[in-house]
Amino acid sequence: MKHEKLFDLAKPYLKKNEFGETHTQRVFELARRMLIKRTM
């Protein structure tokens, strides 16, 4: 499952989270960039 689809499914739960969906999206993006960097 692509992370975009997973994130879309999780949005209702993230809205209730104290960090919110924008924070989680930034963390996902940072983790994705770091993973790509490490695999190169």
pTM: 0.62
Q: Where are the domains of the chain?
A: 3-39
Question: In the prediction, which pLDDT does 1 show?
Answer: 53
Per-residue pLDDT tens over the stretch 1-40: 577 888 888 889 888 888 888 898 898 889 889 988 888 7
Q: What is the DSSP string of 1-40?
A: --HHHHHHHHHHHHHHSSSHHHHHHHHHHHHHHHHHHHH-
